[in-house]
Amino acid sequence: MADPHDKVPGQPTGRYYVDSQCIDCDLCRETSPANFVRNDEQCFSFVYKQPETPEEELLCKDAMDNCPVEAIGNDG
């Protein structure tokens, strides 16, 4: 389960976040490319934009549910 006290830097305030457990597997970026991007320098993914539509919400939830190391969390 993602740790809200261990969020990676650079994420907007909101429900979804990525913590330091991220292994940069690309699943979240492939599942929800409008919401997740890669930090190329430190090799992890993070939330770039919180979901704004029901479709984006569903894709973010799918990314969270399928994250192999449970690095995606939802505070809301």
pLDDT at residue 35, rounded to an integer: 98
CATH class, range 16-74 = alpha beta
3-state class (DSSP) for residue 60: helix
Q: CA–CA separation, 32 vs 61, rounded Å?
A: 9
Q: CA–CA separation, 67 vs 25, rounded Å?
A: 9
pLDDT at residue 76, rounded to an integer: 83
Q: CA–CA separation, 37 vs 35, rounded Å?
A: 7
Could you read off the pLDDT of 6-23 as tens digits, one per residue?
Answer: 999 999 999 999 999 999
Q: Which two tokens stand for residue 75?
A: 């505070």
Helix (H) or strand (E) holding 34: none
Could you read off the pLDDT of 23-58 as tens digits, one per residue?
Answer: 999 999 999 999 999 999 999 999 999 999 999 999
Could you read off the pLDDT of 54-67 as tens digits, one per residue?
Answer: 999 999 999 999 99
